[in-house]
């Protein structure tokens, strides 16, 4: 805790999210919401009393570790932001986590936690906000009331509000728009996939929204979304048996809060391609579509394997990585995602507690040289098309399944992750999901995987595409004209690769002028 890294990652997590665009010129397709089962509420109170709202308790078996992991998970997130005040949930959560408590200033709170190396943090996603805490059991007795104050009795100090609000504005103006082109592409894709939808804005809000935010509005919003009705208290690690009840008691003063509201149907922006115009040294590419499946689907095991074989995040066995980076040296990495994905801080595993009620399929092509952008986009689309039409080989499916058999075991490497994953399982109603997933790998065939990919993934014509580029007009013209984009190499390439290139270089985009929209970067967020 001796230094803080930038906070953008906490609010705007890392990877692409996308929503489908309409086929060019046609009506925008729609995707029905997938409502996940709610975490079961606590049993109702006796009939004669007014309904008592209580948080849900969730524990993993205690172990011998000296570390105790706590996750206070609210089924609230930036999807709860008022339509005219984006970013309110995240600002409220930050103000609570960093701004001190009724009895301690922000600085005094840090001083109190510091000698213990105890940590309290918060992450805000679309449908989940989680206050995370790790503490040594030596300090648990003193720590629990402090944590309860952070969540239940924040200090709501005006000076901290101003500091955090200004940070949020700087994060957009001086970071996201300016020096984080890959995230810029992903967050723009969110906007394309979810216009007029609670998922369609940046978690950190907008410059205008942050400037208009008031302390009163944020406090009132917090009371609505951070109440007991949406809270699950999760505990893991080497905790004493009475800890869950102690936490529940300490948090009894939380407002009841309001229940969640239903999501509308996702309808993508009408254009197929959005080009963010800015002085970028390379071209960042993200694409994707909203999908009607999630991990509760019986086909999800097959989909997870298939998407891994196509482009597992930050791994090298996927087709996209092998063919775009390893064989052609086009860029630094190329990946695909069967559901909304964020990389855990400091690692490559999927972050936990980013579960969503509606899901996306996305592809992330890391920045390419401007002169290669059209070819790289064509190649990614070609590969995706081929994935759906021709499918994966037996060997590819076998390798991906073997990889996931081991790799998914690592995701449970520490108590915080184990607890987070179990809470996600509760959200979706998929207990022991990964154990069942691994069991389901046995006997999985390429035919099953290919059938699942064809059944559930959007056709290439439904992918919305975001490009972050300096020469937006030139890029637009190249896409509309479908002018060939032959690729040359400084080194010898095999004949079969060059044969594919010849096909890729003339692949038509089929885009009418109105299917491409250029947006200057300073008009975003």
- Binders of another protein among 392-421, rule CB under 8 A? 399-400, 402-407, 409-410, 413-415
Site for another protein in 128-147 (CB under 8 A): 134-136, 138
Residue 488 Cβ vs another protein, minimum distance, rounded to whole Å:
12
Give the chain's radius of gyration (CA, Å).
Answer: 24
Site for another protein in 475-494 (CB under 8 A): 489-493
DSSP 101: B
The count of other CB atoms within 10 Å of the CB of residue 492 is 6
Pick between residue 160 and residue 425 the one whose CB is nearest to another protein.
Answer: 160
Integer Cα distance of 83 and 170 in angstroms: 21
CB 272 within 8 A of CB 516: yes
Site for another protein in 63-82 (CB under 8 A): 64-67
Pick between residue 230 and residue 313 the one whose CB is nearest to another protein.
Answer: 313
Extract the tokens encoding 13.
């997590």
Single residue of 53, 146, 189, 282 touching another protein by CB under 8 A: 282
Give the x-and-dash track for 347-366 against another protein (CB under 8 A): -x-----------------x
**Containing H/E element for 381?**
helix 373-390
Q: Please tell me whether residue 328 binds another protein under the rule CB under 8 A.
A: yes
Integer Cα distance of 157 and 99 in angstroms: 7
Please name every residue paired with 468 in a beta bridge, in sequence order, or none if there are none.
Answer: 276, 284
Residue 284 Cβ vs another protein, minimum distance, rounded to whole Å:
8
Extract the tokens encoding 512.
């009418």
Single residue of 177, 295, 357, 487 touching another protein by CB under 8 A: 177
Single residue of 159, 212, 498, 502 touching another protein by CB under 8 A: 159
Quickly tell me which residue has 């409502």 as its tokens. Answer: 35
Residue 494 Cβ vs another protein, minimum distance, rounded to whole Å:
9
Contacting residues for 349 by C-beta, under 8 A, at least 6 apart: 343, 410, 411, 417
Q: Please tell me whether residue 369 binds another protein under the rule CB under 8 A.
A: yes
| Nearest residue to 13 (alpha-carbon basis) of 167, 147, 129, 134 | 129
Integer Cα distance of 202 and 173 in angstroms: 13
CB 132 within 8 A of CB 70: yes
Pick between residue 497 and residue 505 the one whose CB is nearest to another protein.
Answer: 497
Pick between residue 4 and residue 51 the one whose CB is nearest to another protein.
Answer: 4
Q: Which stretch binds another protein (CB under 8 A): 87-95, 106-114, 121-129, 293-301?
A: 106-114
Residue 66 Cβ vs another protein, minimum distance, rounded to whole Å:
6
Single residue of 142, 162, 432, 477 touching another protein by CB under 8 A: 162
For strand 56-59 and strand 231-237, is the pairing parallel, antiparallel, or unpaired? parallel
Quickly tell me which residue has 């665009």 as its tokens. Answer: 21
| Nearest residue to 399 (alpha-carbon basis) of 279, 318, 486, 502 | 318
Q: Which stretch binds another protein (CB under 8 A): 21-29, 245-253, 322-330, 499-507?
A: 322-330
Q: Angle, nearest 10°, between helix axes 373-390 and 446-456?
A: 120
Site for another protein in 178-237 (CB under 8 A): 178-182
Q: Please tell me whether residue 344 binds another protein under the rule CB under 8 A.
A: no
Residue 487 Cβ vs another protein, minimum distance, rounded to whole Å:
12
CB 251 within 8 A of CB 152: yes
Residue 319 Cβ vs another protein, minimum distance, rounded to whole Å:
12
Give the x-and-dash track for 111-130 against another protein (CB under 8 A): x--xxxxxx-----------
Helices marked H in 181-291: 181-193, 207-212, 215-225, 243-250
Residue 72 Cβ vs another protein, minimum distance, rounded to whole Å:
18
């Amino acid at each position: 805790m001796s230094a803080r890294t930038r906070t953008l990652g906490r609010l705007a997590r890392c990877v692409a999210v996308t929503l489908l665009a309409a086929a060019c010129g046609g009506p925008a397709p729609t995707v029905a919401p997938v409502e996940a089962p709610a975490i079961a509420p606590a049993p109702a109170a006796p009939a004669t009393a007014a309904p008592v709202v209580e948080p849900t308790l969730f524990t993993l078996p205690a172990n011998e570790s000296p570390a105790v992991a706590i996750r206070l998970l609210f089924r609230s997130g930036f999807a709860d932001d008022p339509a005219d005040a984006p970013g309110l949930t995240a600002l409220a959560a930050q103000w609570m986590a960093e701004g001190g408590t009724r009895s301690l200033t922000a600085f005094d709170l840090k001083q109190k936690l510091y000698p213990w190396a105890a940590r309290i943090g918060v992450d805000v996603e679309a449908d989940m906000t989680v206050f995370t805490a790790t503490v040594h059991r030596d300090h648990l007795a003193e720590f629990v009331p402090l944590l309860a104050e952070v969540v239940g009795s924040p200090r709501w100090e005006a000076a901290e509000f101003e500091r955090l609000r200004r940070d949020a504005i700087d994060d957009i103006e001086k970071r996201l728009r300016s020096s984080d082109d890959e995230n810029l592409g992903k967050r723009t894709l969110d906007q394309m996939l979810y216009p007029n939808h609670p998922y369609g804005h940046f978690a950190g809000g907008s410059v205008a929204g942050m400037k208009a935010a008031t302390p009163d509005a944020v406090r009132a919003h917090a009371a609505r979304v951070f109440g007991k009705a949406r809270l699950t208290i999760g505990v893991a690690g080497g905790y004493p048996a009475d800890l869950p009840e102690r936490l529940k008691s300490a948090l009894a003063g939380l407002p009841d809060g309001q229940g969640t509201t239903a999501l509308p149907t996702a309808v993508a922006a009408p254009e197929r391609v959005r080009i963010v115009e800015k002085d970028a040294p390379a071209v960042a590419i993200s694409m994707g579509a909203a999908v009607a499946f999630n991990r509760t689907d019986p086909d999800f095991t097959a989909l997870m394997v298939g998407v891994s074989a196509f482009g597992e995040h930050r791994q090298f066995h996927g087709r996209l990585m092998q063919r775009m980076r390893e064989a052609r040296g086009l860029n630094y990495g190329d990946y695909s995602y069967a559901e909304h994905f964020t990389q855990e801080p400091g690692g490559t595993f999927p972050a936990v507690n980013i579960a969503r009620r509606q899901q996306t399929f996305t592809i992330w092509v890391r920045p390419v040289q401007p002169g290669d952008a059209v070819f790289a986009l064509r190649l990614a689309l070609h590969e995706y098309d081929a994935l759906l039409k021709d499918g994966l080989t037996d060997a590819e499916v076998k390798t991906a399944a073997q990889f996931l058999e081991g790799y998914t075991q690592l995701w449970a490497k520490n108590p915080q992750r184990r607890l987070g994953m179990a809470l996600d399982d509760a959200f979706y109603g998929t207990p022991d999901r990964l154990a069942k997933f691994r069991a389901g790998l046995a006997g999985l065939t390429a035919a099953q995987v290919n059938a699942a990919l064809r059944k559930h993934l959007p056709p290439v014509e439904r992918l919305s595409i975001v490009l972050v580029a300096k020469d937006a007009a030139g890029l637009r013209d190249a896409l509309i004209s479908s002018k060939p984009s032959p690729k040359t190499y400084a080194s010898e390439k095999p004949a079969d690769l060059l044969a594919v290139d010849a096909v890729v270089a003339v692949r038509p985009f089929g885009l009418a002028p109105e299917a491409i929209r250029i947006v200057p970067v300073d008009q975003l967020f």
